[in-house]
Structure 1
C-alpha cells in the first residue's frame, strides 16, 4: 500500500508552528509495514488543496490529512474531499448532537459555525474525537482510503491510536524496521564506497548520511514478521 501525508494549514507555511504530525505518522506507518511515498504541506487555500488532493488520489492508496477540520471559513478539508469525490456534504444529526453535548457539558451553547464539523459525505464514516469538537473522516472509495484528522497533535494522536491505527492494522501484513549504525573515523564518501554494492538492494534498503556525531548508515527492512525483518 502506497501512503501519502498531507499537512494542511497556512500557519505551517509561515513557520508559525512546527509540523510534528508528519514525523509521528511516518513512524506509525512503518510499524504497520505501510510504505510512505510522499509528504506535503499546503495552506488554507481551496484551489491549491484541491490540486494536492487530486494528485494524491492519483498516485497513493492511503491518504492521511491533518488540519482543516475546524469550524471557521478557512477550515476547508471536508469541502475539498467532497469536491474531489463528487459527493454532497450534509449535516449528520448524530454528529450534531455530539457537538451540542460537548459544549453543553461545559455550560456553553454550540456556536452556529460549529455545525460544519457535524457534516459527512456518503463514503465517509465519522471518527470520534473526545478531545475536541472536530470528528475525523474515514473515507473509502474506488480502492483508496482518505483519513482526515484534526491538526492539534494531541487530538490527532488520540484519534490515530484509538481509531485509525486499529483499522489499518487489520489489513496490514508487514512491518518496516530500521536500524542505524554509527561509523567513526571514516568520511561519508568512503563509507558510501565501502557499501556501494549493497545500496542498490531493494530489501533491505540502505542510506548513508553525514551527521555531527559521525557517519550514519541506515538499514531498513520490510518483512511479514519482526523476527524476519531483524534477520
Structure 2
C-alpha cells in the first residue's frame, strides 16, 4: 500500500513533499498509514450507523483516525506551501492505494530475484502458446511474482502463499484473475474479449503514447499482434495482459 494525494495542479515535487510530511506524522505516532486508514474507516462507519453505543470504535481506532487526519492536514500544508488561500483544499486529500504486488515482492525476496527475473520471459512465452489451463504455469507465475519462496513443481505438495491461500488458477479461472486485477489496478479499465480471446488493461487517464499504462494480451492498441494466435481462454488472456504490464519490473 502507498499514500497518494489528490490535489489539483500540484507538481510531482509538491506531492512528494506532502507525502513526506504525512509519513513523518505516522512515524512520530508509531503507527502505519494502513492502521490510520483502518481507524478512520471504523470512525466513519460508526458515524454512518448513527453512533450506536454498542458499536463504538476502540480507543486504538480513535487514536489511529486522529493520526490519519493530522497526517492529511500535514500533507496539505506541506504540498501547498506558498499557494494562494483559495487554491488550498479544505477537504481530505489523502488516500491509501494498492501497489501491484510484484513491485513490493521484488524487494521482499531478494535471494530469489535473479531466478525470478530469468523465468519471467519464459512464463510470458508459455502463456502465449499454451493450449489451455496449465497448473505448472500457475505455479511459475506465483514464483515469478514472489508469492511463494521457491519454484513449485507438479510432483511435490502444492505450497500455499504467504497468506495461507492456494496458488491462484491464473490459466483457468477468469473470475479469480479479474478479481486480482481489479484489486491491483483499482482505477484502470479491464476489458476481456471471448471471441477471439483477448484482454486489455489500461489507465483511462493516461495518454495514447503512455504505453506503460496500456497492456494487451493479443491485439495491441495500435492493431498489431503480439503473437499469431489469440490466447487459449479468457483467464490466460487477462493473465497475459497483466504479466506484460509487469515487464518494467523485470528489466
Q: TM-score, normalised by structure 1?
A: 0.24
Higher relative contact order (CA 8 A, sep 6+): 1
Larger Rg, first or second structure (1 or 2):
2
TM-score of the pair, normalised by structure 2:
0.23
